[in-house]
Amino acid sequence: MPTSYTFIESPIGRLLVAGDGSALTCIGFDRGRRPVRPAADWTLAERPFREAASELRAYFAGRLRRFDLALKPEGTEFERQVWSALTEIPYGRTISYGELAARIGRPTASRAVGLANGRNPLPIVIPCHRVIGANGALTGYGGGLETKRWLLSLEGAPATPALFDRLQE
């Protein structure tokens, strides 16, 4: 099925939202470490993304804590396992990469979990921003650390001194 996309304005910048007509396959930031752009063969279309836009707006307004959208992230079996575990992190909570690795039964794979987390094609909806360093410090985020900080603040995630020290850098 061909990919269509639209742009959604948000408090953290313009988001590119893409899918195959039955499920979302991509949410991308237009800034940060890896800005996402539509592929040449994608079609601009707003209609398939009305529900996604509505849920994202509700989330950014603080009225939505869990998304209910059809998702189809493409990745390896391990990546999909990590992404599935990310959806189980409650709104407003954070965990470390090591804890996430333990949750999927791979307690020594925190580095691989971090790499899979960084390849998440559906950030925000699959909440990779809820994973932080073992010492409470913010770590990399595709939309940039300021965006990660904003999302955690929106959710009222507990702040630690290490988190705020890192934000000041």
26 is an active site residue: no
- Say if residue 50 is exposed, middle or buried (CB neighbours under 10 Å; 0-12, 13-18, 19+): exposed
Task: Check: CB of residue 52 under 8 Å from CB of residue 69.
Answer: yes
What is the chain's alpha carbon radius of gyration, rounded to the nearest angstrom? 16
> Which candidate in 128, 131, 152, 163 is catalytic?
128
Phi/psi of residue 109, nearest 5 degrees:
-105, 30
Give catalytic residues, as residue numbers. Answer: 128
